Amino acid sequence: MTTVLDRLHELQVQVPDMRFLTGPDIPERNRTDWSFLPPSSPVAVARPTSTDEVSKLLAACHADGVPVTPQGGLTGLCGGSRPIDGGVALSLERMSGVERIDPDGMTMTVLAGTPLETVQKAADEAGLFFSLDLGARGSCAIGGNLSTNAGGNRVIRYGMARDLVLGVEVVLADGTVLPMLNTMLKNNAGYDLKQLFLGSEGTLGVITRAVLRLHPRPGCVSAALCVVDGYDKVLDLLRTARRRLGPMLSAFEVMWDDYWYQATQRVSGVRAPVEIGGGSHVVLVEMQGLGAEVDTPRFEAWLEEVFASATVTDGAVAQSLGDIAAFWATRDAAAEFANPAVIGPHISFDVGLPVKRMDDFARESKAALERELGCQSVHYGHVGDGNLHIVAWVPGAAPQPLPEVSRIVYDIVRAYEGTVSAEHGIGTLKKPYLGHTRGPDEMALMRRIKNCLDPENNLNPGKVFD
Amino acid sequence: MTTVLDRLHELQVQVPDMRFLTGPDIPERNRTDWSFLPPSSPVAVARPTSTDEVSKLLAACHADGVPVTPQGGLTGLCGGSRPIDGGVALSLERMSGVERIDPDGMTMTVLAGTPLETVQKAADEAGLFFSLDLGARGSCAIGGNLSTNAGGNRVIRYGMARDLVLGVEVVLADGTVLPMLNTMLKNNAGYDLKQLFLGSEGTLGVITRAVLRLHPRPGCVSAALCVVDGYDKVLDLLRTARRRLGPMLSAFEVMWDDYWYQATQRVSGVRAPVEIGGGSHVVLVEMQGLGAEVDTPRFEAWLEEVFASATVTDGAVAQSLGDIAAFWATRDAAAEFANPAVIGPHISFDVGLPVKRMDDFARESKAALERELGCQSVHYGHVGDGNLHIVAWVPGAAPQPLPEVSRIVYDIVRAYEGTVSAEHGIGTLKKPYLGHTRGPDEMALMRRIKNCLDPENNLNPGKVFD
């Protein structure tokens, strides 16, 4: 009987540049992602250097029924790139690099394994701007960002990863290469097939290259922290920010008082630039303007107005890049919550809700968690985008009761007609709850599409849905 | 033998509110669209009033193998909504109306048959803005706009129809209703199935409702006409406009000298606000700003700069809304070219090209048309979006030699790695040329997707590809 390893050995002869790591050579990092799921046991990690090699690998695995799990920077939070025991992990990390920048078309062509930060820097060096940004920027790969339709901090202005890609080169489950490297903003010639591969978490094809959309580089940045009392004031602030800052509004991040306390009182090195006092929320507003002479006064005039109208009870305007960094530090402090000196082991959520109902949701889920499980929680999120993050923990519990906490949160999400994943995706962790957001006919159509593109179910099996 | 009419008669009993028009009652307008294809002979026009009726109609037609062609405002230019002889035309025109506006979530829920202009006005009355805009705004329906992924005048700032929709309710070929009325900007829970139905010209499902994304209403508008000499100056102007006006740049329309002559010298009622003199192109630049006090001076400062740097040789700044209308009249004059007193019968193209190579393309196709067919042509387009329109005519020819002219133009499009349709879609008219833009493996995948969603090929058969 030919084993998977025998088959990979034959393949190695055909494609000598592709590296296979097997047995003890398999790096720990390729066994799971940032979801905290336990390491798995793939039979091999394949590290191709070209699309042709990816194609040959997928064709061989397809012929032999070997499951393949594509991997980018392995920073996903839901287990989407965690390999199958006995399957092959397909790492794109050796396919890295910026191939071309077109300043007139405002596009960049990159290999899928390129780290996001490399993409951002290359755009900046060309005098342009790639707007996708998230905490894992130094580690995550652009191919993974596209496969998961990553969101991040500036969705309110620039959209999600899906909105920032004009073309992709994709390898299908059977090894077929689709060179759909469209560079045009407008192209209505036939079905827009690239959409199938954006946000489907590597279950329909492997993205090997992409044409990204670039924007003009911002000429100036302003930021403020605003304390408000009552969620209706948060909505007032959002409404006036949209009207007065328009498309320059680049972030509208809301921190609930429970979050603010943890971030500024418990995380070492983070100070509170404003006093929350009797307020209920702190809002970080950022504007990317065109020029400081014109747009900084515009931002300050808007702030004076919201102070004068008593929408905001306290606030601070950044006077320097250092201030802007200090303001963002209060929002980024969530990354330190896992530290036992702060919150320690906890469960994170990334839900989406109608903007108007986010505070009702936060109160209701907070009360239900406390009442049913003695579970604590704090809330923060990209409110302008309808995206709420919850950090929940039962003090002293080990392990944390993931299924029980999830059930409570996601049942309320369903009642609010929200989504169980605004930006992180489904992977394996959220599979049990996908039906809370998508109906049975939608689930059936997803399965039909999967079956249409990957009838043998070799490509990232067990992810998104069963 | 049960005929299609017998079957529709049975269906009429089940759904008394749905109207069927047959025989001489079939309106002329439902027999074709604005493609100038000859009227067809559907067996009936169905005019349902609800999603449930659409579902029952599709289920019945699916069971009996009757082809169904969805129709919105019938303003398509490629024959996409022209019915099949002997099939049923499914008109959405009685499913019209704005159902809900959410000012916090910035969304609007509408029925598919709602005219675009009604959507625009409803947004405006709510103090918001729906950015999609095109010449047929009073006649076209939003469902058709989404099904064809319409473009129009402001894509450079707001994107195409695809970028303006958060959710859709869709009826599949077999009558299954998918109520995917997502209202959130971010939703990564499973495959984004709505993408399948946007831009696929009614071949995969019938959109019956949509959740649209609204934007803040612009606070002011500025416009200028700039004369430049040489396409490199057009690119310079685009580059500085993007940098200095950033996301406020709402249109960058370029008119080649050949177009400018026809528009301003031949079309009655259109005057030339600038003299092209020895220039090669006239550019209409529009900025949607936030407030006139701040942004009008910004626009004028940018213009002074491009004059001072000799990028622009002549120009005019709009001083009033009347001026803005007069500037746009030069661009909208193309709608009058069919008038025998201007150009008369002609062939229109809607191609997409890399921005940098648009002028080379225009010269090359103009020369080839003249040399091979004695064919005249003029050029204009949304250059910031890579979208070029060509109007071509052989003086005195009746009919105009559509296949010969198309072959010449599309062969050059292929050589430039452009697209045969930037915004109008494929319908039936451009089917022979889809392979100029899409490769054989892409075509094969489109067919697999079609077969997956509509295995009997009942839904708008014969459109996009065979």
Report if residue B466 sits inside a domain.
Answer: no
Measured distance CA(A283)–CA(A255) in Å, rounded: 6
Asked whether residue B265 falls in the same domain as residue B313, the answer is yes
Nearest Cα of chain B lies from the Cα of A457 at a distance, in angstroms, of 16
Interface of B with A in 213-272 (CB under 8 A): 215-219, 235, 238-239, 242-248
The per-residue pLDDT for range B366-383, each reduced to its tens digit, is 999 999 999 999 999 999
- Closest Cα in chain B, distance from residue A190 (Å): 6
Residue closest to A309 by CA, chosen among A244, A355, A252: A244
Are A187 and B246 within 8 A, CB to CB? no
Let me know: does B406 contact B347? Beta carbons within 8 Å. yes
Reply yes or no on whether the pLDDT at A5 is more than 90. Answer: no
Residues 6+ apart with CB under 8 A from A215: A106, A128, A129, A130, A131, A158, B247
CA terminus-to-terminus distance, chain B: 29
When CB atoms are compared, the residue of A187, A446, A453 closest to B190 is A446
Tally of CA atoms within 13 A in the half-sphere of B70 that contains its CB: 31
A459 within a domain of the structure (yes/no): no
Whether B134 maps to a domain, the answer reads yes
Nearest by Cα to B317 from B304, B332, B308: B304
Asked if the Cβ–Cβ distance from A182 to B355 is below 8 Å, we say no
Tens digit of pLDDT for each residue in B156-215?
A: 999 999 999 999 999 999 999 999 999 999 999 999 999 999 999 999 999 999 999 999
What is the CATH classification number for the domain harbouring B331? 3.30.70.2190
Structure confidence by residue, pLDDT tens digits, A306-328:
999 988 999 999 999 999 999 99
Percent of chain B with pLDDT over 90: 94
**SS3 of residue A384 by DSSP:** helix
Cα(B269)–Cα(B259) distance, rounded to whole angstroms?
Answer: 16
Q: Do B155 and A180 touch (CB under 8 A)?
A: no
| Of B303, B323, B324, B327, the residue nearest B228 (C-alpha) | B303
A198 touches chain B (CB under 8 A): yes
| Distance (Å) from the alpha carbon of A321 to chain B's nearest alpha carbon | 21
Query: What average pLDDT does chain A have?
Result: 96
How many Å lie between the alpha carbon of A370 and the closest alpha carbon of chain B? Answer: 27
pLDDT of residue B74: 96
* B1, pLDDT greater than 80: no
| Domain membership flag for residue A464 | no
Q: Using one digit for the tens of pLDDT, what is the confidence trace for B223-240?
A: 999 999 999 999 999 999
Q: Do A449 and B191 touch (CB under 8 A)?
A: yes
A455 interfaces chain B, CB cutoff of 8 Å: no
Percent of chain A with pLDDT over 90: 94
- Has residue B78 got a pLDDT over 70? yes
- Separation CA B251–CA B272 (nearest Å): 19
Residue from B109, B147, B157, B191 to probe the interface with A (highest A Cβ count within 10 Å): B191
CATH number at residue B143: 3.30.465.10
Task: Choose the final residue of a domain: A61, A91, A121.
Answer: A91
Average pLDDT over residues A158-171: 98
| Distance to chain A for B339, nearest Cα, Å | 28
Report CB contact under 8 Å: B102, A163.
no
Contact pairs from chain A to chain B, CB under 8 Å: 271
B 134-153 residues inside an 8 A Cβ radius of A: 148-149, 151
3-state secondary structure of A285: strand
B447: contact with A, CB 8 A cutoff: no
Residue of B nearest to A149 (CA): B188
**Residue B396 pLDDT greater than 90, yes or no:** yes
pLDDT tens, B85-131?
A: 999 999 999 999 999 999 999 999 999 999 999 999 999 999 999 99
Number of domains comprising chain A: 4
Whether residues A303 and A406 fall in one domain = no
Q: Assess whether pLDDT exceeds 60 at residue A1.
A: no
CB–CB of A346/A393 below 8 Å? Answer: yes
Instruction: Confirm or reject contact between A100 and chain B (CB < 8 A).
Output: no
pLDDT value for B2: 67
Is residue A454 included in any domain, yes or no? Answer: no
* Cis peptide leading into residue B179 (ω within 30°): no
Of B316, B336, B356, which residue constitutes the final position of a domain? B336
Task: Single out the residue in A25, A56, A91 at which a domain terminates.
Answer: A91
Q: Model confidence over B14-73: pLDDT tens digits? A: 888 888 999 999 999 999 999 889 999 999 999 999 999 999 999 999 999 999 999 999
By residue range, what is the domain housing residue A55? Answer: 4-91
Number of Cβ within a 10 Å radius of residue A257: 17
User: Looking at the structure, do residues B305 and B332 belong to the same domain, yes or no?
Assistant: yes
More confidently predicted of A5 and B108 = B108
Burial (CB count within 10 angstroms: exposed 0-12, middle 13-18, buried 19+), residue B452: middle
Both A231 and A279 in one domain: the answer is yes
In CATH, what number is assigned to the domain containing residue B28? 3.30.43.10
Q: Mean pLDDT throughout A31-53?
A: 95
Output the six-digit token pair for B434.
């889809």
**CATH number, position B352:** 3.30.70.2740
Q: How far is A380 from chain B (nearest CA, A)?
A: 15
Chain A residues whose beta carbon lies within 8 Å of the beta carbon of residue B384: 185
Q: Is residue A185 less than 8 Å (CB to CB) from chain B?
A: yes
Q: For residue B137, is it within any domain? A: yes
Residue B445 in any domain: the answer is: no
B60 and B14 in a common domain: yes
Contacts of B246 in chain A (CB under 8 A): 216, 218-219, 247-248, 290
Check CB contact under 8 Å for A189 and B155. no
Q: Tell me the nearest-neighbour CA distance from A191 into chain B, angstroms.
A: 5
Q: Both A210 and A118 in a single domain?
A: yes
Q: Quick check: A453 and B453 CB within 8 A?
A: no
B108 with B79, same domain?
no
Residues A56 and A126 placed together within one structural domain of the fold: no
Tell me: do B300 and B397 sit in the same domain: no
Q: Both A282 and A327 in a single domain?
A: yes
What pLDDT score was predicted for residue A2?
67
Task: Give percent of chain A above pLDDT 70.
Answer: 100
Assigned domain for A181 exists: yes
- What mean pLDDT is predicted for residues A390-412? 96
Chain B contact for A32 (CB, 8 A cutoff): no
- A212 lies in the same domain as A103: yes
Mutate to test the interface with A, among B186, B349, B388 (most CBs of A within 10 A): B186
- Asked if A106's CB is within 8 angstroms of B186's CB, the reply is no
How sure is the predictor about B10, in pLDDT bands with cuts at 50, 70 and 90?
Answer: confident
Angle, nearest 10°, between helix axes B440-453 and A440-453?
150
**A280 pLDDT tier (thresholds 50, 70, 90):** very high
| Chain A residues touching B159 at Cβ < 8 A | 163
Indicate whether B83 and B136 sit together in one domain: no
Mean pLDDT of A9-18: 87
Contacts for A203 with CB less than 8 Å, ≥ 6 apart: A450, A454, A459, A460, A461, A463, A464
